[in-house]
Amino acid sequence: MNAPVDYLLHLADNALILGQRNAEWCGHGPILEEDIALSNNSLDLIGQARMLYQHAAAQIGKGATEDTLAYFRDVPDFRNYTLCELPHMPLMAATSAGDRDFAMTIVRNFLYSSLMVLVWDQLQNSKDAQLAAIAAKSLKEARYHLRHSRDWLVRLGDGTEVSHAKVQAALDQLLPYTQEFWSTSPQESAALANGTGIDMAALQADWNQIVDEALQEATLQRPAAGGFVPTGKQGIHSEHLGFVLAEMQSLARQHPGATW
């Protein structure tokens, strides 16, 4: 049994877009070790995306490949969480320029990897055998991503007055975007119905526990829940995704069909 194509694309798009964002730190990390760590994080995520796109492309047929799915779809076709597409800086207009904020990167990676260790663990039991195998491999990587981001979250939160203020501000801005994790989408409902997906709402309590324990250790305050629930996984995105895709897809679109 195969998972619905849109469900595979949702999982793949999350990994690809966050991998692309984290790759922006390549050559710009605050210290050499983190430059390499975030580059490796990106490689893991893009590797996950490739496996999922290959699986989806096999179902789509009609000449679809991992590259056509990554490079020749437009903003409304992507199903990633809005959280994954946001810039590494305090939120501002997409055309604005600013310095990357390491705290924003760490908080986002922590919130996302805290979810994905739970998602991949459950998807190991998917009725889609290939998705289950992808989940088993991806779980190992997600565990490392969580450990890395959690360590930095605690170091920054329980560090200096400046580092604490930066990571608290990042948490205040980014945590509301995680409400999208628990909203339903057609692709998730279809995958749950045929046994290839999981019930995301059932993961919320465990995710809250992971997050709350880390925030307590980091001496950070969890902001109140509420506000707008993002709709990225339904194809309605922030203004930032278009700029990510424009940079990521430009070479492939300039030379379609080229062999490298």
Residue pLDDT, tens place only, 189-230: 999 999 999 999 999 999 999 999 999 999 999 999 888 999
Distance between CA atoms of 140 and 71, rounded to whole angstroms? 27
Residue 89: band (very low, low, confident or very high) from pLDDT cuts 50, 70, 90: confident
Q: Which amino acid, 128?
A: D
Taking residue 258's Cβ as centre, other Cβ atoms within 10 Å add up to: 8
pTM of the model: 0.94
Is residue 53 predicted with pLDDT exceeding 70?
yes
What is the reported pLDDT for 226? 86
**Residue 12 has which token pair?**
């793949």
pLDDT at position 79 over 80 = yes
> What average pLDDT does the structure give for the chain?
94
- Of the pLDDT bands very low, low, confident and very high (cuts 50, 70, 90), residue 260 is confident
For 116-168, the pLDDT digits (tens) are 999 999 999 999 999 999 999 999 999 999 999 999 999 999 999 999 999 99
Average pLDDT over residues 84-93: 82
Cβ neighbourhood burial of 97 (10 Å; 0-12, 13-18, 19+): exposed
Most confident range (mean pLDDT) of 31-45, 96-110, 158-172 is 158-172
Say how far apart CA 232 and CA 81 lie, in whole Å.
Answer: 5
